[in-house]
Amino acid sequence: MLIAALLFPLCVVAQPKKITNTVGTAAGGGHSIQITLKPYQNIKIYLGTHYGNSKVFADSCILNEKSEGIFQSKDKLTPGIYFVVSPKMSILFDLLVDDKQQFKIIADTLDLKNINIQGSKDNELFQSYSKGVNSMYVQLGEIEQNYKNAKTAKDSTVYKEAYITKDKLIKQKKKLFVEANPNSMMSFLLNTMDMPEAPSIPVVNGKADSLYPYRYVKKHYWDKVMFNDNRLVRTPFFENKVDEYFKNYISREPDSIINELDYMLTFAKTGKEIYTFLLFKFTNKYIAPEFMGQDKVFVHLYEKFFLAGDTVLLNENSKKSLRDRYYSLLSNQLGKAAPVLVLNDVQDNRFALHNVKANYTFVAFWDPTCGHCKEDIPKLDSLYQASWKNQDIKVLAVNINAKELTAWKSFISEHHLEGWLNGYQTDEDLNREINEKRPTTIRQLYGIVKTPTYYLLDKDKKIIAKDLTIEQFNDFLQTKFTNNK
């Protein structure tokens, strides 16, 4: 969707910039990372980092004839995981950047297993821990592969036990490291990645509580994470952890999602970069959600955060896109009464949506010049004739292109759509709305950004389904019919 595309670039907060090739200390407490990277000479290299699941440039420098350069600026880098990028844009190796941002890197692309980082305790711990644990993970992978290839039950048991043993050793090593270095960057990273281990299913009063492990993991999922810590943005795993949480532990119901987002965002507000990251991540996700009705989450985000002043984070185009999207969703949320529609039919007799008597009313907004509409509207009529009309469903088809009344009437006649209610808004009515400066045109009230656009209303004209395909609406109705028997 265009609106989401407009928002995404706001997340890219770091861009390459040319740094003078002088060795020294950054003024004003910024960053000054000296680097010797053989065999590159007289060429630009880059310092990259993570922005959630994305990778962005944080800095650049030009190596001299001695392969020396410096990533330097008066501004501090947001602490987290960074990486050095070659002139050909390949990642060479990772490093950590903490609050102390004056240190030196000595490396050779022919021997990247032995990177020498001087003046950074966190990088010393990172390298020491990684070397030990990486070899253990290699062994764990070999055991797992042997388990998959096991030819006998006995071998499977042996490899399974070996896997459990090795996994316990890795977890124990992590635990001991964090206990010994509680304030290190590496401990922060390990705590962020950590997942609570699901306990065994308990038996209460003779009955197994099968949901207890789920409740336990959900309750303790974020125990070791502080949502206002800007370092979270500069890791490649925090965003995935957020996504897994909402996928596996949070109901798809908008109110459940809203409760979680309010907690996260309110907590994150004291951390400027993480707050911006989370706010735009969730805005992008729910401005055009995967599941019906979740656009309520976007409406809530706009009202609670953007209307409260956080639009200062946006450029003017994005402000307008967000505002327009908000008003296009405000009046057509699930459970709300459908906005008032007063239309003219083919014979120019006036009628109103809310006067239509039916168990269900299916409202189709379409344009007789729209190719997709020309394919979809006959499909809709087939479903109506085959099943819907026998279930007291009325179809109201609204032509939103009043300039094409002749084409509209011809299409209705050609496809025998006389069993429907067919209507359009006259230029007179539209101009009256515009002249009265109402922010309530049909397109806005019903959020019509594409054609066709469909709504399903109950007998009280409340919206019970939208943003579905014709086939999905039919499945929805068939389920309703079955449950009502």
Please name the amino acid found at residue 131: K
* Sign of the four-CA dihedral 49, 51, 52, 53: negative
Same domain, yes or no, for 384 and 423? yes
- CATH code of 79's domain: 2.60.40.1120
Same domain, yes or no, for 212 and 312? yes
Domain span holding position 8? 2-118
Kindly give, in sequence order, each residue whose CB lies less than 8 Å from that of residue 485, ignoring residues fewer than 6 positions away: none
Same domain, yes or no, for 225 and 183? no
| Residue that finishes a domain, picked among 283, 306, 330 | 330
Q: Residue 448 domain-assigned?
A: yes
Same domain, yes or no, for 30 and 138? no
Same domain, yes or no, for 349 and 476? yes
Q: Residue 335 domain-assigned?
A: no
Q: Taking a C-beta distance cutoff of 8 angstroms, is the pair 299, 326 a contact?
A: yes
pTM: 0.85
Q: Kindly report the number of other CB atoms within 10 A of residue 17's CB atom.
A: 11
Q: Residue 337 domain-assigned?
A: no
Tokens read off for 424: 């359009």
- pLDDT tens series, the chain, 485 aa: 323 333 333 333 333 333 233 333 344 479 999 999 999 999 999 999 999 999 999 999 999 999 999 999 999 999 999 999 999 999 999 999 999 999 999 999 999 989 999 999 999 999 999 888 888 888 999 999 999 998 899 989 999 999 999 999 999 999 999 999 999 999 999 999 999 999 999 988 889 999 999 999 999 999 999 999 999 999 999 999 999 999 999 999 999 999 999 999 999 999 989 999 999 999 999 999 999 999 999 999 999 999 887 766 788 898 899 999 999 999 999 999 999 999 999 999 999 999 999 999 999 999 999 999 999 999 999 999 999 988 999 999 999 998 999 999 999 999 999 789 999 998 888 777 777 655 568 888 999 989 999 999 999 999 999 999 999 999 999 988 777 66
Same domain, yes or no, for 114 and 237? no
Same domain, yes or no, for 464 and 443? yes
Q: Taking a C-beta distance cutoff of 8 angstroms, is the pair 401, 368 a contact?
A: yes
Burial tier of 96 (Cβ tally within 10 Å: 0-12, 13-18, 19+): buried
Q: How many domains does the chain have?
A: 4
Same domain, yes or no, for 276 and 256? yes
Residue listed under structure tokens 């957020």: 242
